[in-house]
Amino acid sequence: MTPTRTSARRPGGRSARVQADVYAAVGALVSEGHRDTMTVPQVAERAGVNPTSIYRRWGGVATLLEEVAVAALTGDEPMPDTGAIRGDLEAWAGIIVADITRPERIVYLRAMVSARQGTPGECPCWETRDEQAGQMLARAAERGEAVPTVAQVLNHVVAPLYHHVVFGLHADEAFAHSLVADVLAMAPARVLAH
């Protein structure tokens, strides 16, 4: 497990308070324009914790920034269950686009992208979306619906939404629904039993 995945667990007690205080400190510093100059001592001072606690738990600013962004961008959203894959995907894409186009989420998303260094590897935000799409598609397949693959949903619905937000392009619910229509056209035709 990577440090990001381990620390993303929901701790209890004092650990939960420290995490909440550190997350709030990162959010405040990012919103004040310190995204590129943020240091662990700055975060620790703002959060009222010892810098050693941050180094021990997160290692450094890049990991911390990514974890906070992932937490902000993949919160406890309800998983749609409309009874049809089109409705599920449209509702889900609508939830995503409504969330990531909020000004504070745009800051987090861009911060997460800028914090990633070197060759891209794991991305917890992407992994969460992968799991969510997989659940919806499996449910639809069990109902007998024709469904696209998880990769198609991620690459043709989720990726364009995030891409548009990162690069300041237009993204709204209508755009999200058009992406869903496109990806559903990729689903193989359902073979009806005789």
Question: Distance of CA 128 to CAs 122, 134, 158, Å?
Answer: 11, 10, 11
Helices 40-47 and 51-58, packing angle to 10 deg: 120
Question: What are the boundaries of each domain within the chain?
Answer: 3-72, 75-184
pLDDT in tens, 110-125: 777 776 665 556 666 7
Q: Report the chain's mean pLDDT, rounded to a whole number.
A: 82
Task: State the CATH architecture for 75-184.
Answer: Orthogonal Bundle (1.10)
Percent of the chain with pLDDT over 90: 48
Q: Which fold has domain 3-72?
A: Arc Repressor Mutant, subunit A (1.10.10)
Per-residue confidence (pLDDT) for residue 73, from 0 to 100:
65
Helices 40-47 and 61-73, packing angle to 10 deg: 60
